[in-house]
Amino acid sequence: MSAPARPAQPAPQPPATPAVLLALEGVRKRYNIGLPNEAEVLHGLSFTIGRGEFAALIGPSGSGKSTLLNIVGLLEHMTAGSYRIDGVEMNGLDDATLTLRRRSTLGFVFQFHHLLPAFSALENVTLPALMREGRITPARRERARAVLAAVGLGDAMGKRPGELSGGMQQRVAIARALVLEPPLVLADEPTGNLDTGSADEVFALMRQMHAELKTSFLVVTHDPRLAARCDRVLELVDGRLVRDGATVPERREGREGLVGGS
């Protein structure tokens, strides 16, 4: 990968963050190292996400968003660079340590919800606690019920994912990601598979949970309308960060537009 497709726009400084949750510095990712088809998809990315931030990661297909999200989500190793969570370096840690860190720090919301079809909505939401503690205490169950009720699924707790609409399934996924109150939720196209109405509802829910729990969000989206409703937008093109800026506060209520946007 060489030069970015378009030059970086002069972006406003990212908002000051009271505490840095995660910090990437010079992160590179190469595939097929040593083979004729070796390729670098991330070219030395550097940025930070503060506690309580709600950031969008946008970019065209093939720009490296998913790879970056996998590295941030500790699902993939970087080739070079530094990635710190709460000041602790993640690069070079073994799988077991990364898994435990993922468990304690991150919540995931995927495009296709990725609930476990054999479990009810409530069971899906209690799964993180069961995984962590080996059992579900009454307190944990109550907490799961409360979160499901908060995402508007108080009446559908016993239903399996197959019995729920796409929007409802995504709400369960959000509840599951948030139930243990991780510091950071990574959402990969969380509304990409929903109609506009459901997408708006799900996004509003994420904002609401963010406001209530102060959890940091990094949302990958193709939808500029949704990106505009985030506090900050990081734009990735051809593996390079071409934009990192705050959105206009008054536009966050559904109108398009980014400060310094194209």
Give the shortest CB-131-to-another protein separation in angstroms: 5
Beta bridge partners of 186: 108, 218
Interacting stretch for another protein, rule CB under 8 A, among 14-22, 50-58, 124-132, 237-245? 124-132
Task: Figure out which of the listed residues 43, 65, 102, 140 binds another protein, where binding follows CB under 8 A.
Answer: 102
Find out whether 15 and 47 touch, Cβ atoms under 8 Å.
Answer: no
Task: Figure out which of the listed residues 28, 30, 84, 114 binds another protein, where binding follows CB under 8 A.
Answer: 114
CA distance 232 to 258: 9
Q: Between 165 and 204, how does the x/- string for binding to another protein read (CB under 8 A)?
A: -----------x----------------------------
The tokens describing 191, both together, are 């509304």
Task: Tell me whether residue 5 or residue 118 sits nearer to another protein (CB atom).
Answer: 118
Interacting stretch for another protein, rule CB under 8 A, among 32-40, 99-107, 164-172, 213-221? 99-107
Give the shortest CB-124-to-another protein separation in angstroms: 10
Give the shortest CB-22-to-another protein separation in angstroms: 17
Give the shortest CB-115-to-another protein separation in angstroms: 8
Amino acid symbol at 140: R
Asked if 99 is part of the footprint of another protein (rule: CB under 8 A), the reply reads yes
Task: Tell me whether residue 8 or residue 130 sits nearer to another protein (CB atom).
Answer: 130
Task: Figure out which of the listed residues 16, 33, 35, 96 binds another protein, where binding follows CB under 8 A.
Answer: 96
Distances (CA, A) of 69 to 24, 55, 56, 233: 12, 12, 11, 14
Nearest Cα neighbor of 22 from 99, 90, 97, 109 is 90
User: From the CA atom positions of the chain, what is the Rg in Å?
Assistant: 18
Task: Tell me whether residue 70 or residue 193 sits nearer to another protein (CB atom).
Answer: 70
Interacting stretch for another protein, rule CB under 8 A, among 53-61, 128-136, 204-212, 254-262? 128-136
Give the shortest CB-101-to-another protein separation in angstroms: 9
Asked if 95 is part of the footprint of another protein (rule: CB under 8 A), the reply reads yes
Find out whether 85 and 105 touch, Cβ atoms under 8 Å.
Answer: yes
Asked if 79 is part of the footprint of another protein (rule: CB under 8 A), the reply reads no
What are the residues binding another protein (CB under 8 A)?
A: 66, 70, 73, 75-76, 95-96, 99-100, 102-104, 106, 108, 110, 114-119, 127-128, 130-132, 134-136, 176
